[in-house]
């Protein structure tokens, strides 16, 4: 997995499936294995910082709110009015160093709310963030973990393009399977080469069998419904069994690359 140029991993899945939880577990595992981790919160309802245990997560200013900087970089006077002409290739390479916040050895970029207009929006903010995500320059040993927004609309929009690996988090429910397979289809169409599933909130072996019978693709692993996670109310912490499960997922991820 760790190769020249690092690796960029997008975590997708339906709302509540466990994208942020899986993103945290993987971020910690990569960090503990001597990688430099850049965690990127791509969900407009930002909670990656909170889940990673950052102090005062609400005080982190999302990139999309840095209006003056985005206006300047995209060459427009102001972002307050709709813009027809703006630079499609704004400078982004200095953004991680300038705007990432760090805690416990993890760097975090919070993208924030971009555009109410939705999928097709080509506003300066959207363009800037898309370019930032696809141009996160990776050095050897760097791992970017993108905690994506729920659903699949961002896949079509191209936010998840340019990633090396897409992981689809699925719960063992019919809806979980349906949305997972739909996401897989779209991710394949967008040209991502490595796509794997992670089963989450597994209670018993029947849940694993149900997922494997309905999704005939690669599973990186299964994470059980975990008491410690439930008790911690949204802040991620390993207990022994959770750490063991993440070790398995991590090993498989690293091995398969």
Q: Which does 127 bind (CB under 5 to 8 A by kind): Mg ion, ligand ADP, none?
A: none
Query: How far apart are the C-alpha atoms of 152 and 100, rounded to whole Å?
Result: 26
Q: Which one of 27-35, 38-46, 74-82, 138-146 is the stretch in contact with Mg ion (CB under 5 A)?
A: 38-46
Strand partners, 153: none
Taking CB under 6 A as the rule, which mask of x and - marks residues 179-218 in contact with ligand ADP? ---------------------xx-----------------
In which order are the strands placed within the sheet that holds 194-202? 101-103, 106-110, 36-41, 142-147, 7-13, 165-170, 194-202, 219-224
Q: Should residue 94 be labelled a site residue for ligand ADP when binding is judged by CB under 6 A?
A: no
Q: Should residue 68 be labelled a site residue for ligand ADP when binding is judged by CB under 6 A?
A: no
Q: Should residue 46 be labelled a site residue for ligand ADP when binding is judged by CB under 6 A?
A: no
Q: Should residue 225 be labelled a site residue for ligand ADP when binding is judged by CB under 6 A?
A: yes
Nearer to ligand ADP, 142 or 226 (CB): 226
Q: Which does 77 bind (CB under 5 to 8 A by kind): Mg ion, ligand ADP, none?
A: none
Q: For the CB of residue 127, give the shortest distance to ligand ADP in the complex, in Å.
A: 25
Burial of 212 (0-12, 13-18, 19+ CB in 10 A): middle
> Of the candidates 52, 166, 168, 229, which one interacts with ligand ADP according to CB under 6 A?
229
Q: For the CB of residue 113, give the shortest distance to ligand ADP in the complex, in Å.
A: 16
Q: For the CB of residue 20, give the shortest distance to ligand ADP in the complex, in Å.
A: 3
Show contacts with ligand ADP in window 121-140 (CB under 6 A).
none
Query: How far apart are the C-alpha atoms of 178 and 222, rounded to whole Å?
Result: 18
Query: How far apart are the C-alpha atoms of 22 and 13, rounded to whole Å?
Result: 11
Burial of 233 (0-12, 13-18, 19+ CB in 10 A): exposed
> Of the candidates 12, 20, 64, 190, which one interacts with Mg ion according to CB under 5 A?
20
Strands (E), the chain: 7-13, 36-41, 101-103, 106-110, 142-147, 165-170, 194-202, 219-224
Q: Should residue 19 be labelled a site residue for ligand ADP when binding is judged by CB under 6 A?
A: yes
- Tokens 């149900």, residue located: 210
Strand partners, 36: 142
Q: Should residue 234 be labelled a site residue for ligand ADP when binding is judged by CB under 6 A?
A: yes
> Of the candidates 1, 7, 9, 17, which one interacts with ligand ADP according to CB under 6 A?
17
Using DSSP's 3-state secondary structure scheme, residue 166 falls into strand
Nearer to Mg ion, 123 or 167 (CB): 167
Contact set with Mg ion (CB under 5 A): 19-20, 43
């Amino acid at each position: 997995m760790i190769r020249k140029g690092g690796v960029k991993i997008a975590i997708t899945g339906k709302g509540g499936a466990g994208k942020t939880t899986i993103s945290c577990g993987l971020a910690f595992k990569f960090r503990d294995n001597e990688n430099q981790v850049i965690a990127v919160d791509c969900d407009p309802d930002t909670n990656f910082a909170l889940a990673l245990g950052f102090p005062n997560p609400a005080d982190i200013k999302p990139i999309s709110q840095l209006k003056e900087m985005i206006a300047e970089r995209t060459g427009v006077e102001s972002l307050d009015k709709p813009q027809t002409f703006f630079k499609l290739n704004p400078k982004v390479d200095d953004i991680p160093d300038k705007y990432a916040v760090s805690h416990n050895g993890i760097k975090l970029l919070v993208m924030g709310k971009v555009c109410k207009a939705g999928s097709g929006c080509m506003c300066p903010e959207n363009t800037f963030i898309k370019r930032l995500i696809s141009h996160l320059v990776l050095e050897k040993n760097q791992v970017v973990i993108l905690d994506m927004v729920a659903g699949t609309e961002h896949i079509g929009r191209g936010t998840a393009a340019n990633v090396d690996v897409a992981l689809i988090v699925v719960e063992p429910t019919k809806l979980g399977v349906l949305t997972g397979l739909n996401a897989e289809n779209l991710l394949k169409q967008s040209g991502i080469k490595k796509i794997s599933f992670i089963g989450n909130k597994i209670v018993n072996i029947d849940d694993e069998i149900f997922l494997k019978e309905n999704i005939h693709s690669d599973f990186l692993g299964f994470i059980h419904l975990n008491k410690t996670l439930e008790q911690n109310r949204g802040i991620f912490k390993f207990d022994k069994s959770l750490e063991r499960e993440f070790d398995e997922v991590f090993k498989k991820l690293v091995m398969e690359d």
